[in-house]
Structure 1
Amino acid sequence: MAADLKNGCQLGASGNAGDRSDVASRGAVPNEGAHCEEGGANKTLSERGKLAGTGMTHYFDEAGLIDLDRVTDGFHVTKGQLAKITGLNFVAVSKADQQTAPRTQSRVREMLEIISRVIEWTGGTNQALAWYRSEPIPPLGRTAEALVKNGKADAVCRYLDRVAVGGYA
């Protein structure tokens, strides 16, 4: 299983995080139909263990999109705080038509994937969010939050992959 963990999870047949065509066409739930592209090899999220079995799948609606109201309720944050945590502007997380935009969905999905991977290590969702926001990752020199905001979620995933297989932090 550890060998299957790769970075750079992308949803959709085209490799774009906002493309839900492959999931919608099969009627699959997000953690079963989402594909990850890594060196040409496709792995579903359930195969990779990203959101499957983590309790994060309840943040998705019936269409397979992340419901930001569920995220704010689940993490006990306001939409303004969610915007700050993800590096999005307030309009992106508050306006209904912007909540489903590929960039918004991608950024929140990256946050959920990273948090889901550290929940067990940190002891719970609130602790995982605290780690995400405030604990610098030693080899990267920045927090997971700062890295995701700057489009470096893959670096955080690579770090977590190393730690998961017994590598040094």
Structure 2
Amino acid sequence: MAHALKAPLPTESLVLTYMDRAGRIAIDQLADGFGMSKTQLAETAGLARETLYRAERSGARKAQGRLREMLEIISRVSDWAGGKEQAMAWYRAQPLPAFGGRTAEALVKEGKAAAVRDYLDHMAVGGFA
């Protein structure tokens, strides 16, 4: 019995867009895709600037995990934000009332991406901020 290929979930779409054949986030393509330098991308993801300039560090679990978390959150909001660029602007600048006015970017940098995803899930089903 053949299995049909599933369409990627909305939260996976940007992650898959920027994934290389080895299953890692492709740093150069990601930076280019959002019109950022690697330094700006590192800052946005809460990583040291040097991390994204060295292959062994940019491929490390922590760096890849942080970039994946950032992309998952941006993917979740891109449809209602009006696209990935607007979703990135939301991620970086929109204060979230449920988190004392901190942004999704600040929360991801603090290691609280799961809380942001839970918040977005809550909002998606009609919850209040």
- The reply to whether TM is greater than 0.5 is yes
Aligned pairs, how many? Answer: 122
List alignment gaps of at least 5 residues for structure 2: 1-5
Match of 1:151 among 97, 107, 111: 111
Deviation (angstroms), 1:50: 2.0
Distance in 2, Cα, partners of 1:137 & 1:121: 16
Q: What is the TM-score of this pair, normalised by structure 2?
A: 0.89
1:164 matched residue in structure 2: 124
Q: Secondary structure at the match of 1:50?
A: helix
Distance in 2, Cα, partners of 1:127 & 1:70: 18
List alignment gaps of at least 5 residues for structure 1: 1-31, 33-45
Match of 1:84 among 27, 39, 43: 43
Match of 2:95 among 136, 139, 158: 136
Distance in 2, Cα, partners of 1:134 & 1:66: 23
1:104 matched residue in structure 2: 63
Q: Deviations over 1:64-107 (max 9, x none)?
A: 11101110010110011011101100111111111100000000
> What stretches of structure 1 move > 2 A for 4+ residues in a row?
none
AA in 2 matched with 1:122: A
Q: Secondary structure at the match of 1:65?
A: coil
The structure that is helix-richer by fraction is 2
The structure that is strand-richer by fraction is 1
Q: Aligned Cα RMSD in Å?
A: 1.4
2:22 matched residue in structure 1: 63
Q: What is the TM-score of this pair, normalised by structure 1?
A: 0.69
Percent identical across equivalent pairs? 51
Contact 2:70/2:108 (CA < 8 Å) preserved in 1?
A: yes
